[in-house]
Structure 1
Amino acid sequence: MTTTLKPPQELPYGSAHPLQSLDLYHQNLDPNTYWVIFIHGGAWRDPKMTKSSGHPLICSLLSKYPHLNAASINYRLSPHPCYPSNGNVARHPNHIDDVRLALSFLQERYSMKREKSVLVGHSAGAYMAFQIDAGCGAAAAAVVGVEGVYHLGKLVEEYADYEEFVGGAFGEGWKGVDEEVLVEVEDGRDGGGRVVLVHSSQDGLLSFGQSKYWAGVLRGRGRVVREVYDVVGNHNEVLEGAELVEVVEEELKGLEVEAGKGN
């Protein structure tokens, strides 16, 4: 018997901008239900990358775990030279403030629990996932970074042309933001959750350098890190692949096992 998935409910989590919205897949009212939360990428500015980027992953997971809860988050965007009239004028910390606000909304309105959630960030969304890793109790028990950016300085060092969108999103002080993230990231010995870094060799926009660097930083802080490099697809296609679904499934199963040990 095939489970019919209900379409997501689009909800505002803020009132400052139309992009302060999320798609909610609220299947289960049990406060102990597991959640998957998706943060899209797009260099902090691409209006074509939205919360809908998370739908293939979430729908695949819900087809297997119909009692799972999930959400995919939009946030305010920075100016894009190809879309000068779209009204997007966000600058750091607008993007991350929005994601924090969305997570607080889910916690307060729908009883989403940190210890019952997996946070999935794609590209720039992966950077934001770790920006909030210790922020306001909003981080997840497991964080999955997909084709992620993890250090702006190293990104621009490897890809000089990328300074244009990094500066557009973070302003002239962008070089100091990496240190802010490093200060905020939780130490595994103090309760920081598990981490999975997913990166395809077919990604033409980012090399393995970002993921390799970040894995080393996190392991140095005692975090449990799994690196997955055998996924298929380019920078965005990975989001629609079965491999990513399997990665998130494994994290959900790991959380269930840990919860069982605690009972």
Structure 2
Amino acid sequence: MSATFVPPQELPYGSAHPLQTLDLYRQNLDPNACWVIFIHGGAWCDPKMTKSAGHPLINSLLPKYPRLNAASINHRLSPHPRYPSNGNVAKHPNHIDDVHLALSFLRERYSMKREKSVLVGHSAGAYMAFQVDAGCGVAAAVVVGIEGIYHLGKLVEEYADYEGFVERAFGGGWKGVDGEVLADIEDGEKGGGRVVLIHSSQDELLSFGQSRYWAGVLRGRGRVVREVYDVAGNHNEVLEGAELVEVVEEELKGLEMEFAKEN
């Protein structure tokens, strides 16, 4: 089926909050189309980081892949100390509940298939990507983490001043959330979905420690993990870099090859 490019539609996937929206890029009606789904970062609370952060990647990919559809997800936010709340009072599990709801919306409304999806998360969005997938392939065939947070305890241990936004997002029991994610990985079937972890040496907010730790955890659970550190740009600039596009392209080519073998 040929592709017809259309501009993104902003759609509500829930009704509990104005931020329960996503940008849908649907250029192919084939139920076997591949998908890229983006989850933005921003420490669970930054109102400047929105679903628009995924637009550069998606806009670079769509013209090259006529079988590709895409979506970029907004989610509810926690309070930020420098901005008015504007109803941003979310606390765990509100953020991840929204991501689950958005993915369910895409599966039910647009026939998005897990085995033909690449889930991309940036920073806090990377943490959420593994909350919904755990590297087990339950949400997507491939999970790509960009400049990611993967363990809250180790994050605060390395950056003590980050505890404020972690506690605002997860409450006083935030130290237990890492265990929830790790338990999901423990229970997953071996040989689950592929994982790519991208991290720039120019990241001014996070060291390689998070990505290297997470790669070790996943490999220890039998996951296929690729680490990519030769990328340019600071914490947010990586989102607009050619290296990210190339990484996701490679994974999409792999999905297309698998699809061709099946047919």
Give the shorter-chain TM-score range.
over 0.9
Deviation sequence 1:220-245 (CA, Å, 0-9, x none): 01100000000100000000001000
Q: Residues of 1 paired with 2:125 and 2:150: CA distance? A: 10
Displacement of 1:5 in angstroms is: 4.7
Relative distance call for 1:47 and 1:80 in structure 2 (3 A) is same
After TM superposition, the structure 1 = structure 2 runs for residues 13-28 of structure 1, keeping only pairs within 5 Å, are 13-28=13-28
Contact kept? 1:36, 1:120, Cα under 8 Å? yes
More divergent stretch after superposition (102-111 vs 252-261): 252-261
Deviation sequence 1:133-167 (CA, Å, 0-9, x none): 159x8610000000000000000000000000000
SS in 2 for 1:132: helix
SS in 1 for 2:36: strand
Q: Residues of 2 paired with 1:188 and 1:169: CA distance? A: 26
Match of 2:116 in 1: 116
Deviation sequence 1:33-76 (CA, Å, 0-9, x none): 00000000000000000000000000000121133100000000
Q: Residues of 1 paired with 2:117 and 2:211: CA distance? A: 22
- 5+ residue gaps, structure 2: none
After TM superposition, the structure 1 = structure 2 runs for residues 124-139 of structure 1, keeping only pairs within 5 Å, are 124-133=124-133, 139=139
Q: Residues of 2 paired with 1:55 and 1:88: CA distance? A: 23
Contact kept? 1:188, 1:222, Cα under 8 Å? no
Read off the aligned partner of 1:159 and give its amino acid letter.
Y
Q: Residues of 1 paired with 2:84 and 2:12: CA distance? A: 25
Displacement of 1:192 in angstroms is: 1.4
Match of 1:159 in 2: 159
1:192 aligns with 2:200: no
Match of 1:96 in 2: 96
SS in 2 for 1:214: helix
Contact kept? 1:132, 1:184, Cα under 8 Å? no
Q: Residues of 1 paired with 2:138 and 2:22: CA distance? A: 16
1:229 aligns with 2:229: yes
Deviation sequence 1:86-126 (CA, Å, 0-9, x none): 22000000000000000000000000000000000000000
RMSD: 1.9
More divergent stretch after superposition (102-111 vs 84-93): 84-93
Contact kept? 2:91, 2:170, Cα under 8 Å? yes
Match of 2:83 in 1: 83
SS in 2 for 1:143: strand
Q: Residues of 2 paired with 1:51 and 1:79: CA distance? A: 18
Deviation sequence 1:154-210 (CA, Å, 0-9, x none): 000000000000000000000000000011137775451000000000000000000
Normalised TM-score (structure 2): 0.95
1:29 aligns with 2:29: yes
Aligned length: 261
SS in 1 for 2:133: coil
Q: Residues of 2 paired with 1:186 and 1:36: CA distance? A: 26
Contact kept? 1:131, 1:185, Cα under 8 Å? no
Contact kept? 2:119, 2:140, Cα under 8 Å? yes
Relative distance call for 1:215 and 1:75 in structure 2 (3 A) is same
Contact kept? 2:120, 2:144, Cα under 8 Å? yes
Read off the aligned partner of 1:223 and give its amino acid letter.
R
Q: Residues of 1 paired with 2:101 and 2:67: CA distance? A: 25
Normalised TM-score (structure 1): 0.95
Contact kept? 1:145, 1:197, Cα under 8 Å? yes
Displacement of 1:4 in angstroms is: 8.8
Match of 1:55 in 2: 55
